[in-house]
Chains A and B, each alone.
Chain A
């Protein structure tokens, strides 16, 4: 089977290879020195790597709000009316279709301290004191990157939720409306519970996707200032391609992979339990 051959060659083999490399100290050219689990203990005691994990956790938490929650609200708004929403659906989804790198370059300008859109707008409404060096301040940089992430992906989650809400039988919504429920109540008490599974999957997508985020960070800050936006992916790319520590980078990659698989496993369990509960009722 050609599919298997290609997959084994380009993905499976390298997965195993990365695992093997993680047990060596190697610069990619010279001698390989077996060091057992040294790379792993180094990673666990590496302050920057731990910061990177903390940062990505914060980033994921922020994206759950800025992507998933905002996406849910957008879907709620759009389904509150039956007509005249197609335009908005199209507009909100535009960022999803652009390469992330391109979006990152654009937002790099939006955040520019001298002529960026944000600081100029603030100046326009006489709020200069709010102007910030968004990407250069360790306190704001991570949030600033997360906002861009929200700008891109909230439209994507909106589309998912929109599709989910559309599948809710109209009678249920109509019944609630006849009972005098407001649109907001319908949204909270009918629509969201009905698409609970979709929301769960969306959270998983946001979390796993967040762990793999790289492009935005690489272009906007590349981990700076002072590791304030360092995440495992940017850090391990630095380790491998800048400092030529193939072994150490591989060990970090393995740790990341295990984390992602662990989270996916937890979600699979949650889903199964949810399904069992429903069949039990």
Chain B
């Protein structure tokens, strides 16, 4: 009985793969031949494939479960174990303990950039260069692998491209007060003041964990200082208390003086901040692309859209975006590297990338967005990424966390009005010693 079913579903998955890959073009032949043998070969022994990630929200969890189910169906000897960890815990000690603990994951979610490089140096990231050259080449463009190459080796399978901050706004509130999307920084301050006079909190955010305001205002800082100085500062090549940062922080002073951010920002976390926006108490909410799927889920009636940070008068590229690529690493210490590759191949397929698009993700797989029916906001997020003049890396994923948090705290201090820009910059420098 069981043997029979295994065979049938094994063929099933091979067919699915063949169709999927054929749809992608010329490398179809090669991919099918590599995928099929491992499927049968792996059927020999029982394997548990552990996949760990920071919780992507219920809708996207659904996609992962579908991938896992499809994979188990095609590989009856494999049990896929999905482990979703709360994001702030995952980002700090969660992943660390998972990797070093018992039952370490075979595949884990990670941010491209400095963090990924650390993983590679610690020996937790398998070299996927061949995998990229062969099986993945038809699914993913070279551009998708930005920030995923360490020491000339590709060590990550691209997942999502996340814009970490745009300004989400409540379309109905904007219309009610006759407001238009601001084209300049001054317009943005003006419209915020209009909202404030009307008794609406212009910008709602929860900053207990410092990164929400940090990501947002660091984008402002990069625009003002210029991307190069920003990069040097976060790499500790120039000190924090440099005049360019102090000048950049002045934009935050303008917001503080106007009082356009909710007073409770320091006390509440990012989710509580989003709740202010969902309930229509705050007209705007600066956060990343993940808001779309979340808002659709918990506030289905909310009429919302976004705009990128308006141009500032600074040294940076004024149509830059702040964004990070995320993806999945195969643990170099895993005993199931080949199975893990097969799993990632299935995950990267157009079928599931498409499903991810429906779940509000922005997967990097070719052709995932070549459809009519996707959410227009997701569509324009993708356009924003494609047309950006520069991509700024968020401090907390692109650089040392300690440095990032020093900058975040400086920005938060200025936004709360407890420090002047000069004081805040000096505090940050003192902290890093």
Kindly state the interface size class of chain A when it binds its partner: 20 to 34
B219 CB to closest chain A CB, in angstroms?
21
A17 CB to closest chain B CB, in angstroms?
16
A47, B430: Cβ atoms under 8 Å? Answer: yes
User: In the complex where A133-B267, A135-B267, A222-B208 touch, is A241 in contact with B96 (Cβ < 8 A)?
Assistant: yes
The A121-155 residues at the B interface (CB cut-off 8 A) are: 133-138
Taken together as a complex, chains A and B put the C-alpha atoms of A245 and B401 apart, in Å, by 11
A114, B264: Cβ atoms under 8 Å? Answer: yes
A226, B401: Cβ atoms under 8 Å? Answer: no
Taken together as a complex, chains A and B put the C-alpha atoms of A30 and B117 apart, in Å, by 14
Contact with A along B388-413 (1 / 0, CB 8 A): 00000000000011100100010011
**A45: chain B residues within 8 A (beta carbon):** 433
User: In the complex where A241-B92, A241-B93 touch, is A226 in contact with B265 (Cβ < 8 A)?
Assistant: no
Contact with B along A203-237 (1 / 0, CB 8 A): 00000000000000000011011110000000000
Contact with A along B408-421 (1 / 0, CB 8 A): 01001100101000
Contact with A along B91-102 (1 / 0, CB 8 A): 011001000000
A87 CB to closest chain B CB, in angstroms?
35
The A35-53 residues at the B interface (CB cut-off 8 A) are: 42, 45-48
**B272: chain A residues within 8 A (beta carbon):** 112
**B401: chain A residues within 8 A (beta carbon):** 242-243
Contact with B along A228-271 (1 / 0, CB 8 A): 00000000000001110100000000000000000000000000
**B267: chain A residues within 8 A (beta carbon):** 111, 113, 133-137, 225
> Which among A111, A112, A224, A242 is the interface contact of B93 at CB below 8 angstroms?
A242
Taken together as a complex, chains A and B put the C-alpha atoms of A243 and B404 apart, in Å, by 11
Contact with B along A67-99 (1 / 0, CB 8 A): 000000000000000000000000000000000
A226, B431: Cβ atoms under 8 Å? Answer: no
Most buried by B among A42, A45, A111, A136: A136
Contact with A along B209-253 (1 / 0, CB 8 A): 110000000000000000000000000000000000000000000
Closest to A237 in B: B93
B431, A47: Cβ atoms under 8 Å? Answer: yes
Closest to B210 in A: A224
Contact with A along B304-326 (1 / 0, CB 8 A): 00000000000000000000000
The verdict on A9 contacting chain B, using a C-beta distance below 8 Å, is no
B89 CB to closest chain A CB, in angstroms?
10
B430, A136: Cβ atoms under 8 Å? Answer: no
Known: A224-B208, A226-B412, A241-B93. 11 other contacts (CB 8 A): A29-B122, A47-B427, A135-B267, A136-B263, A136-B265, A136-B267, A136-B268, A137-B266, A225-B267, A226-B418, A243-B400
